[in-house]
Amino acid sequence: MKGKFARRYFRSNPLFLLAVPLLFGVAGFLLSCGTNPYPREETSGHTYYTSYADPPKHLDPAVSYYSYEATIVDHIYETLYQYHYLKRPYELTPLLAETMPKVIYVKYPDGDRVRYRIRIRDDVLYHEDPCFTVSKEWGGRTRAVRAADFVTAFKRLADPRVPCPIRPILSGVIVGMKGFTEANKDRARTDYDLPLEGVQAPDSRTLEIELLRPYPQIRYWLAMHFTSPIPQEALEYYNGEEGRGTLDRHPVGTGPFRMTEWVRRQRIVLEKNSRYHEECYPSEGEPGDEEAGLLRDAGKRLPLLDRIVLSYEVESIPRWRKFLQGWYDATGLARETFDQVVTKRGELAAPMAVRGVRLHKAVEPAIYYFAFNMNDSVVGGSSRSARKLRQALSAVFDTERFLRIFLNGRGIPAQEIVPPGIFGHQGDTNPFHGRNLALAKRLIREAGYPDGIDPATGRPLVLTFDNAMNNASSRPQLQFIKEQFEALGIRLELRTTDLNTFRSKVRAGNYQIILSGWILDYPDPENVLFLLEGSQSTIPFGGENRANYRNAEYDRLYAKIAEMENGEERFRLIGRMTNLVRRDVPWIPIFFNESYALTHSWCRNFKMAPILNNALKYRDVDPEKRRAYQEKYASPRRAPLFFLLVLLLALPIAGYLSVKRREG
């Protein structure tokens, strides 16, 4: 009887066959489900979680050039000098060097040279690595850094087989660097036994770098990973032979962290270097740092973190959700989520403040600008007509509206070309900058184009704007630019092409107006002022002066400030250069970019530092505070699942009762 009843029940309720296993599955899921994207054993301790959208192409310090790569490279490798984490303006301090360099002026028959003598620390060890033999002195596969390792590093910068992006700059100032490159061009393999005249190691702890001329900016290059020490053992071991790879995948540095995992397009893990030399958190900063809690860890041994986990995250919305759930400790601020986070007054929105989220802002050492081709017969040249035309175009562009519409107001209108926070920034007003339609119309009339009409044709003057803004999201910006300039009565022709074609046109000087930008490599005005120096003109020298601006007075002043230390006289000369650029308008400076970052309340010692790429060694987290937040905001919502569980349980019960009634 019972068997017949069961068969009739299953025939009339086939859903039961599906409901039972599903019921057990849901019950099991409810007991085990969670949103933690990391292995359970990894989430304890002082681990810092963040994300990256661009996979690094190079971890070789001689080759890596992009900031997203430097975030990794600069925590693995170290340099002779670094920037003070808290002080602004940025200040260089010794890192692998014992002191700042001693400058010696050397007389030669063909002119004076400058020699930098640097004493190397004796307590710095490389990360343990198979490239080293076991050291009895240090008790592992490692050894101490020697001055000769820096000589090897500079030879790599001169190696014609290493695609080093800064070789042209250093070859122009370091004695013998060009000669080393030339001597190895025709060899099957670069001979590192050949001398590099301008970089020598008289003993194991002394490095000497000799320059062809005074070049104070060399100290900034000595604070960049290009000049990190490279052990000869690593070059010989990671040579791409016998499956050992290259330094691009196997970095061997001295930094506070070493890379222990790299799964392409998944994640990168950096672990604390247990052999890291003595370095402590700074005990002084700038006004306001102590009140902001940035000196709580003063004097503590670095690094403060045990581990850094970087997850590959391309899309901004998933990244934002994980940040809100507490799985990322810090994040940038995407345009899609800006209005949720920042009020119209530029303050943190209340819902974010309730969660303990903190908003950080900093002006980046970068400038974005329109450049005129000064070789062009209409917009270029030094004639009164051309100059007035450029001034008019500068005065008509509404930078503040551009920033408000397209960048959520994240930027500062640029009145000059030296960014704020960089020595030489004048901070005064450019008479031809900003939307002043009356002035702009007067200037274009004085240029010989009343109401924008070209007297030669009786029609609106036609100017061209070459660009590579060829995606759909750029169309509103192009339309905005067109409308701004055409308010003068002229006609702006948009010439949109692919990036390669655009670059070819710029190199050939085949344009009138372009939009460009520059991020400073180091915090010195020379690194932006050189972009308008005559010998840097793209035409005919192939340099970075895309405007092809040539002004003898500007070039004379540049030659002076390039060799000067910061002081009143240097500031005054930079002011004269700034006024020349404002008058001649080879550029229309648009804005200095302002970066935003968000952190959770458990992040310690977070200070925006756009120039620094090794900032994570100063930061820390409170794991208990993070765990409490995650339990509150990242716990799965189980109520809908419980409802489904009840529903699935009710279906077989209802079927059973139905069959039983029919049997009765």
DSSP of 473-521: GGHHHHHHHHHHHHTTT-EEEEEE--HHHHHHHHHHT--SEEEEEEE-S
Taking residues 360-377, report their average pLDDT.
95
CB atoms < 10 A from the CB of 433, how many?
A: 21
| CA dihedral of 400, 404, 406, 411, whole degrees rounded to 10 | 60
Question: Mean pLDDT across the stretch 407-423?
Answer: 93
Q: Which amino acid is at 38?
A: Y
Q: Tell which CATH classification among 2.130.10.10, 3.30.465.10, 3.90.76.10, 3.50.50.60 matches the domain 78-245.
A: 3.90.76.10
Q: So what's the pLDDT on residue 11?
A: 53
With beta carbons less than 8 A apart as the criterion, state whether 594 and 411 touch: yes
Element containing residue 323 per DSSP (H, E): helix 316-325
Helix and strand totals (H; E) in the chain: 22, 21
Q: Please report which confidence band the pLDDT of residue 32 belongs to, taking 50, 70 and 90 as the band edges.
A: very low
- Express each pLDDT in 483-493 by its tens digit: 999 999 999 99
Instruction: State how far the Cα of 118 lies from the Cα of 147, in Å rounded to an integer.
Output: 9
Beta strands in 550-661 (DSSP E): 587-599, 603-604, 620-621
| One-character DSSP codes across 175-220 | TTHHHHHHHHTTSSS--TTS--TTEEEEETTEEEEEESS--TTHHH
Q: pLDDT over 70 for what percent of the chain?
A: 89
- pLDDT tens for 211-252 read 999 999 999 999 999 999 999 999 999 998 888 889 999 999
Please tell me the predicted confidence (pLDDT) of residue 9.
47
Does residue 93 or residue 9 have the better pLDDT? 93
Question: Taking the chain, what is the end-to-end CA distance rounded to the nearest angstrom?
Answer: 13
pTM: 0.85
State the Cα–Cα distance between residues 88 and 607, nearest whole angstrom. Answer: 11
Comparing 98-102, 410-414, 630-634, the range with the smallest average pLDDT is: 630-634
Q: Which whole-number Å values give the CA distances from 618 to 279, 291, 306, 421, in the listed order?
A: 10, 17, 12, 22
Q: Mean pLDDT across the stretch 563-568?
A: 92
Are residues 433 and 426 in contact, defined by beta-carbon separation less than 8 angstroms? no
Q: In the CATH scheme, what is the homologous superfamily, with its name and number, of domain 363-595?
A: Dipeptide-binding Protein; Domain 3 (3.10.105.10)
pLDDT of residue 264: 87
- In tens, the pLDDT along 164-207 reads 999 999 999 999 999 999 999 999 999 999 999 999 999 999 99
Q: Residue 464's beta-bridge partner residues?
A: 493
| 14 φψ region: left (φ > 0), alpha (ψ -120 to 50), beta (else) | alpha
- The pLDDT assigned to 241 comes to 86
Q: Where are the domains of the chain?
A: 2-33+637-663, 78-245, 363-595
Section 342-371 average pLDDT: 93
Say how far apart CA 413 and CA 420 lie, in whole Å.
Answer: 11
Q: What's the average model confidence in pLDDT over 97-108?
A: 94
- What CA–CA distance (Å, rounded) separates 231 from 146? 9
Helical (H) or strand (E) element with 362: strand 358-372
Question: Which strand (E) or helix (H) includes residue 154?
Answer: helix 147-158
Q: What is the mean pLDDT of the chain?
A: 90
393: enclosing H helix or E strand: helix 384-396
**pLDDT (0 to 100) of residue 344:** 83
Q: Give kind and range of the element (H or E) at residue 361.
A: strand 358-372
Stated length of the chain: 664
Residue 509 half-sphere exposure, CB side, CA atoms within 13 Å?
18
**CA–CA distance, 153 with 230 (Å, rounded to integer):** 5
Give the residue-averaged pLDDT of 626-640: 77
Contact between residue 313 and residue 266 where contact means Cβ atoms under 8 Å apart: no
Rounded to whole angstroms, the Cα distance separating 446 from 514 reads: 24
